[in-house]
Structure 1
Amino acid sequence: MTEQKSWRARLTGALPATRESRIIAVNALIGSMGTGMFLAGSALYFTRFAGLSEIQLGMGLAIAGVVGLATTVPMGMLADRFGPRNVILVVCLWRAVGYLAYLRVEGFAEFVVTASLLYIMDRAGQPLNQALVGRLITGSERNRTMGFIRSLRNLGFTVGFSLAGIALTTGSKAAFQWLFIGNAFSFLVVFALVWLLPKVGPAVPKDTTEGEHPKAVVPPIRDWRFVAATAANGVLFLHDAILITVLPLWVAEHTRSPIWMITVLITTNTVITVLGQVRMTRHIDSLASATRATTWSSVLLLFACVAFAASGWSDTSGWAVVTLMTALLLLTFGELLHSASSWEISFALSPEAAQGRYLAFFNVGFSAAEIAGPVVVLWLLSRTGPGGWLIIAVCFPLSAALSWLGTRQKPVSQAAGPGPGAEPVPATSGP
């Protein structure tokens, strides 16, 4: 009986602690499964059945990406005004309709309009979810929930890609269209689950008394500490671009490693992320601990780049495999550590009354790295070869130093997130 209780306790301890955090985590899994299905087949669908060339597809996505980037902060302002839960409900319906609208796209102009309207909501999804976590969950469980979100998103993408692979073997237009329909349906499921969460109203400052007007919130662009932290984390987020875009091309074109090593590396990263991201949040529960974690992540990312450089200088496939796996492990643990520290930093530096717009602004750094990162890194490596990794390596500790400048003197009174002992935001009655 004792062993059974111990097993149940371990299982319970491995799950999100609150009802709200469990719902948000499940949403991440469902939404990423749908997105994974869509991403696996979207490029082929648009070029085969929607009348787009590869160049037009790339240009259209670039235009849509800029539109999404420009509207991220306004979407965060809407979250502050109407509450993140209400805005997410609208976003879910918008995305469901938008992905179905893709099925009617014929030609470049229709694609650009549809993609741009969708990217407004797609780019807002991450900061809106983080703002929802910040309003509903407090203390150490807040960062832990973000860890579950990231772990389950990686798992969901893997499942979604696998399901898409089954459909894509037929090569028929109908099979591709079902991937779009499945993605749209996933957002309807997410909508239903978000509806079950408590309502949270507009954020208001806590340091005002009755009859007093709340203090004006400084826009994030005018908060130099927050701008510094955002810029630094944008550079540190290059680990995503390296993993998703750069790594496969580097292995295939610049090393003597067998091509199947790409699958091994990506799978290893996914497994470690799913199993390790939540654990990585355990000791990051304050601005000081997050700042230290950022520093350590930059060191790991630096050595990962050195290992990548060594893989390009290797003359044997065996040594290339060893150095690539070493680089991947360093990159993965640096990625996990930085992700956990970035959540805590963005929460801690965001004023509570403007958490939505501050988190949205912080996410601009990630979006910029996602858009420009692959181009910059691939261009550098194409010009300099393995030596380019050493240039990239230096950028990580420099960015950690910039992040430290932005976090070291932040007054405690301005830290946004409620502390471990703080009360959660009151929720109005109703679903």
Structure 2
Amino acid sequence: MNNPYGSPPGPYGHAPYPPQQQPRYPGPAPYTPPGHGGSAPRAPVELDPDKRRRGVGLALWIVGMLAGVVLNILFTMAEIFLSKAPGRMLSAVLTGSLFAFLPLGFYLFVPMVLDRYDPEPWWCLAMAFLWGAVVATGFAGMINTGVHIVFAGLFGPAVGNFVSSVMSAPLSEEFFKGLVILGFFYFLRREFDGVVDGIIYATFCALGFAAVENVSYYARADMADQLGTTFFLRGVLAPWGHPLYTSMTGIGFGIARESSKTWVRWLAPIGGFFVGVFLHALWNFVPTVIPDAFVIMLLFWLLFVAMFFCIIIALVVRKGRTIRQFLRDEVLIGNLTNEELELVCSPVGRIQCTFSWRGAEGRAFIRAASRLALSKWHTARAMKGQKRTISADFIAPLRGELATLRAALRAKAPR
């Protein structure tokens, strides 16, 4: 991967731009005193070029959350009060909630550990999780319930169960979970860099969805005295089903974010979505139609999930190498030292900062440097494809932020 950021030939082999091709980044023009000629100073750098778009995205997220809360309350009340024993069902729902939400601490820890080099902001992860837990469950539940009622009434319970579980559920659930990934891709481009980010957001959204969905499964299992078996199957053997399906959509949007080709940016998310729908439908099809083959299916599924985690680790390592490559010229021009570069590119750099004198400023410094490298990466690919990218607008502000944090770290450095 070539680095177009103008470092001279040397240890890293980056050739300089010809004078007529030097890239221009947004930033304040050199100051020219009044009356001394020259062009007028540029306007100050916009610190948040995506501010308006982010505001629209937040408004849509809030509207979706409000609708999802209403739908989930209605479904929960219906499940309790339409059961044959409402009092016992209420107790089962509370028990199911404990079994569904207590393991989340471990489930959520796994993607956070994997995303070492440029962790997503906590508020982005919370938005993804809540969308899956509230919005996706509410709207998908409404559609699946309606489909089951219609087809069961027309063709019988068996057909209603097949259509709702094998056809309606994969399409509706993956669609509404995928909407939050689309939201990050379009409204929060600064927080969405590529395939790894798509997988992380998809995983958090899917874990939120699975937790709320499991409340209902565990409650019904408790009513039938099968809670232990159901928890072992859904919570121990196959907790990564929904994250796996939705990660296909995340990978599609990640590929689109990394590509400058228009056809890839359109087809990759659509293709990823349908791969996720297929995997979801396959998982639901086997126990619904050929339950005797479920054990064999489960073994192959666990192997597939293990391979998927290996792919994620490889992608995270690739992301770290990309950050290092696009920060090398920052060392050459004096914006970073070699020691600071190693800190930023270390998989345990944030932990080192947490337990050293660098503290919160050190973690912020690593994040700013990582964001700078990834913004330069996106800009380099866009320039190669002769495209325009919003990432170019982030380079100058991030360099300014990096300089401020460096000064703060040097001021508090041990003497």
Same fold (TM over 0.5): no
- The alignment's TM-score, normalised by the length of structure 2, stands at 0.30
Query: Higher RCO, 1 or 2 (CA under 8 Å, sep at least 6)?
Result: 1
Larger CA Rg, structure 1 vs 2: 2
